[in-house]
Amino acid sequence: MANVVVVGSQWGDEGKGKIVDWLSVRADVVARFQGGHNAGHTLVINGDVYKLSLLPSGIVRPGKLSVIGNGVVVDPWALLREIETLRGQGVTISPDNLKIAENATLILPLHQELDSAREASNAGVKIGTTKRGIGPAYEDKVGRRALRVADLADPGSLMGKIENLLGHHNAIRRGLSLPEFEAQPLFDKLTEVAPHITPYAAPVWRLLDQARRAGQRILFEGAQGTLLDIDHGTYPYVTSSNTIAGQAAIGTGIGPSALNHVLGITKAYTTRVGEGPFPTEQDNEDGQRLGERGHEFGTVTGRKRRCGWFDAVLVRQVVRTAGINGIALTKLDVLDGFDEIKICVGYKLDGQDIDYLPVNAAEQARIEPIYETLEGWSETSYGARSWADLPANAVRYVRHIEELIGAPVTMLSTSPERDDTILVKDPFED
């Protein structure tokens, strides 16, 4: 039985929440391995809507172990609010079904303030962050001054670690004309929240190793999208973590040999939130129609998403960098009713044809997409549960995408409802 990694193959918002929920029924363990509460997953189960940011999608399924790995940065207060919200919806959450890596980095109020101050500054590049402190927390992690979940269980050494952290942050705050952060109030906040977080703390690497050896199925849940990867995305307009499938091993402490199948969640068109390059963006009637039909607003921020045609060049590139074995194509129904549908099949850069997105931001800005135009369909694909239920031109569209990206469509989602899914190949049976 395979362990499965789920990643987004575009700029996020591909519909990972529904697919992970669909797969979690078949899994024993669901693990988050990067990002923080800047992620946003919406699950629709029997008409009930669950909005998740930090918790793994498996948390809404009884009998599943949900894991927040060491690669995730954890805002303890945001986590507790999310837990209480879901409990209010009838979801059972306890240390029996939720574990947090002891070595996961904490997001603190000073991280959020720094994130907001930088984004509001007139100097530098505006990334379009969620201002939740994700980037500054990762900076402290690699700077070896971060506070971690395990520190909450050791109040005796906590003050010294806070003072060490503030030695760095207060210098930055002075440069931004912000008041210095005091150690005692932060110490008090952390010792107050500690008893609510530490019962969930565990050596996650060990738990996952035990689950693997026991033959349990593990589902590794990615957040954001591969094009937002700190190394392989559209830098600097990226998130602050690695979002490709290889991070599943690093961000949970399990060896890469345990990653058997990589499923790339792929929207049937393209969207992006925030700043950065977007070769197939349609700032016109087509883009507006895609946004309205697709309800393209961020789960976490509520920000309107930029919309455009499917970019086969980018997805093909992601198939390679993320090691994707197959894709789950989502939101095909949004294309219902278009007379013509375009797919980007290549780029022109300064008059030359290229088949990848260059790293240089100036070159990215000069990219001209090369389109193929396909005939649309007037029939509905909404709610289809078999290939026979799909319009003929919709099937042709899907098959052409497979050819262009070099990966098969192994799952096809036709509505937000979990059961409106066409399964070609079960990733767990790889």
Is residue 41 flagged as an active site residue?
yes
Per-residue confidence (pLDDT) for residue 295, from 0 to 100: 86
Mean pLDDT, all residues of the chain: 93
Helices (H), 89-203: 109-120, 134-142, 155-175, 183-197
Higher pLDDT, residue 122 or 280: 280
Query: Residue 289: enclosing H or E segment and its boundaries?
Result: helix 285-294
Mean local confidence (pLDDT), 33-53: 83
Task: Express each pLDDT in 49-98 by its tens digit.
Answer: 888 899 998 899 899 999 999 999 999 999 999 999 999 999 999 999 99
Q: Which of 21, 37, 41, 169 is catalytic?
A: 41
Percent of the chain with pLDDT over 90: 79
- For the chain, the 3-state helix, strand and coil shares in percent, each to the nearest 5, are 35, 20, 40
Identify the helix (H) or strand (E) that includes residue 50.
strand 48-52
Residue 128 pLDDT level (bands cut at 50, 70, 90): low
Q: Check 13, 75, 115, 333 and give the catalytic one.
A: 13
SS3 187: helix
How much is the pLDDT for 299?
57
Residue 382 pLDDT: 94
13 is catalytic: yes
List pLDDT tens digits, range 298-334. 655 667 899 999 999 999 999 999 999 999 999 999 9
pTM, rounded to two decimals: 0.92
